[in-house]
Amino acid sequence: MTTKSEVLRIPRAERLRVFGLWAMAGAWSSKELSDGHIPEHMLEELAGRPKDAQALVDVGLWRAVDDGWQFNDWSPTQPLREKVLEERKKSSQRVQDFRTRNSSGNAVTNSVTNDVDNSETNGGVADAPSLPFPSLPNNSSSKSGGKKPEIRIPADWAPTAAHFTRARESNVDIASAVEAFKLHAATHDRHAANWNAAFTTWLTKATPAAPVRRNPDAWMNR
């Protein structure tokens, strides 16, 4: 975690460059689950110089270690690799449990849970904690393309585990919600830059499932 006093201790002429390295390195470490360790070979990939890394060491934001540098005070504010992998395992198990409970032949439900399960297997983190660092693509040398373009809903789009949780808490049938959401998107030729966010909005407006009403005199007709 950085403080204003630490940043201000960086020489003014180098402050923007050095702080930029700190932010990019933090984003890379969060994505790669390196627990705040920045290997020496990554410095150049992150557009940093040895003097920039030393500046971060001098103000106490980094410390020099074997084969690179280590963020100071990483664990209190950032997710550790062990914790993230544990959450991924739990999320995958929740999806598997949901599929088991709803294995009666609902095609939409099976399709949704299969897609979510595949997403988890490929390394997605549905409930990943928010981070103070900007996102960074896997290829660190690629350039940012600016504003994300709006596109049609991808054929393989599926709700996240967070959507399942929200639907359950709001008493919304997620299978029906997904089917209606996809149908509405196709019918109206909708475009969105973030379809996960669009579905979150859809869930907030979804009508909760009606409670099952039982006839208190039904036993008399048995």
199-213: pLDDT as tens digits: 899 888 888 876 655
Reduced to 3 states (helix: H, G, I; strand: E, B; else coil), residue 70 is strand
Mean pLDDT of the chain, nearest integer: 75
Compute the distance between CA of residue 139 and CA of residue 28 in angstroms, rounded to an integer. 10
**Per-state percent for the chain, helix, strand, coil, to nearest 5:** 50, 5, 45
Of all residues in the chain, what percent carry a pLDDT higher than 90? 22
50-82: pLDDT as tens digits: 999 999 999 999 999 999 999 998 866 666 666
pLDDT at 106: 53
- Which residues, including other chains, have CB under 8 Å from residue 98's CB and lie 6 or more apart? 109, 113, 164
Reduced to 3 states (helix: H, G, I; strand: E, B; else coil), residue 69 is strand
Kindly report whether the global pTM for this prediction surpasses the value 0.85: no
Q: Which of 95-104, 114-123, 168-177 has the lowest mean pLDDT?
A: 114-123
For the chain, the farthest-separated pair of C-alpha atoms sits apart, in whole angstroms, at 86
Are 52 and 17 spatial neighbours (Cβ–Cβ below 8 Å)? yes
Of all residues in the chain, what percent carry a pLDDT higher than 70? 67
Sheet containing 68-71: which strands, arranged edge to edge? 37-39, 68-71, 62-65
Using the Cα atoms of residue 172, residue 174, residue 180 and residue 181 in order, give the sign of their dihedral: positive
Are 165 and 95 spatial neighbours (Cβ–Cβ below 8 Å)? no
Phi, psi of 198 (to 5 degrees): -65, -40
Of 61, 72, 81, nearest in space to 129 by CA: 81
